[in-house]
Amino acid sequence: MSNNYFTTPIYYVNDKPHIGHAYTSIAVDILKRFYDCRGLNSYFLTGTDEHGQKVERAAQEKNIDPQKFTDMVSENFKDLSNLLNLSNDDFIRTTEERHKKSVQNLWRVLLEKDEIYLSKYSGWYSVRDEAFVADNEIVEKNGKKYNSFGSELSWVEEESYFFRLSKWQDKLLNFYKNNPNFIVPKSRSNEVIKFVESGLKDLSVSRTTFKWGIDVPTDEKHIVYVWLDALTNYISALDYPNINSDLYKKYWPGIHVVGKDIIRFHAIFWPAFLMAAELDPPKQIVAHGWWTNEGQKISKSLGNVIDPKELIDEYGLDSVRYFLFREVPFGNDGDFSKVAIKNRINGELANNYGNLIQRILSFICKNLEQNIDLTEDNFNFEILKQINDSEKELFDYMENYKYDEYLKKLFLFMNDLNNYVDKSAPWVLKKTDPEQMKKVLANICLCIIRVSQYLVPFMPSKTSEVFNLFENTNNIKLDIFDNFKEVINLKFLKIRQPEPLFTKIE
User: Which residue, among 37, 12, 9, has the nearest Cα to 23 in the 3D structure?
Assistant: 9
Residue 374 beta carbon to ligand ME8: minimum distance, rounded to whole angstroms = 45
Q: Give CA angle at 109 (103, 111), nearest 5°.
A: 100
Q: How far apart are CA 484 and CA 175, in angstroms?
A: 42
Considering only 230, 277, 320, 440, the residue that binds ligand ME8 (CB under 6 A) is 230
Q: Which is nearer to ligand ME8, 192 or 445 (CB)?
A: 192
Residue from 258, 285, 387, 394 in contact with ligand ME8 (CB under 6 A): 258
Q: How far is CA 316 from CA 21, 320, 359, 434, in A?
A: 17, 6, 22, 39
Comparing CB distances to ligand ME8, the nearer of 9 and 354 is: 9
20 binds ligand ME8 (CB under 6 A): yes
Query: Nearest to residue 56, comparing CAs of 264, 207, 158?
Result: 207
Answer yes or no whether residue 261 interacts with ligand ME8 by CB under 6 A.
Answer: yes
Residue 212 or 291 having the CB closest to ligand ME8:
291
Cβ-based nearer residue to ligand ME8, 259 or 316: 259
Among 21, 100, 207, 326, binds ligand ME8 (CB under 6 A): 21
* Residue 145 main-chain phi, psi, to 5 deg: -110, 140
All residues at 6 or more sequence positions from 82 whose CB lies less than 8 Å from its CB, including other chains? none
Measured distance between the N- and C-terminal CA atoms of the chain, rounded to whole angstroms: 44
Exposed/middle/buried for residue 295 (C-beta within 10 Å: 0-12, 13-18, 19+): exposed
Runs of H (alpha helix) within 122-178: 169-178
Under the binding rule (CB under 6 A), the answer on residue 24 touching ligand ME8 is yes
- Going by their DSSP bridges, the two strands 284-288 and 296-297 should be labelled as unpaired
Give the DSSP H/E element, type plus range, for residue 297: strand 296-297
Q: Which of 4, 5, 9, 457 contacts ligand ME8 by CB under 6 A? A: 9
| Least gap, CB of 70 to ligand ME8 (angstroms) | 12
Mask for 275-304, x = binds ligand ME8 (CB under 6 A): ---------------xx------x------
By CB under 6 A, residue 49 contacts ligand ME8:
yes
Nearest residue to 442 (alpha-carbon basis) of 498, 381, 500: 381
Binder among 5, 23, 121, 125 for ligand ME8 (CB under 6 A): 23
Residue 12 engages ligand ME8 in binding (rule: CB under 6 A): yes
* 325 touches ligand ME8 (CB under 6 A): no
Stretch that binds ligand ME8, among 4-12, 366-374, 382-390, 447-455 (CB under 6 A): 4-12
- Which residues is 5 bridged to in the sheet? 43
Distance CA 221, CA 449 (A): 62
Question: Is 231 among the residues that bind ligand ME8 (CB under 6 A)?
Answer: yes
CB of 35 to ligand ME8, least distance (A): 20
Cβ-proximal residue to ligand ME8, closest one: 20
Q: Phi and psi (nearest 5°) for 153?
A: -105, 150
Q: Does 259 bind ligand ME8 (CB under 6 A)?
A: yes
Biggest alpha carbon–alpha carbon distance for the chain: 89
Q: Nearer to ligand ME8 by C-beta: 126 or 463?
A: 126
Which positions touch ligand ME8 (CB under 6 A)? 9-12, 20-21, 23-24, 49, 230-231, 233, 258-259, 261-262, 290-291, 298
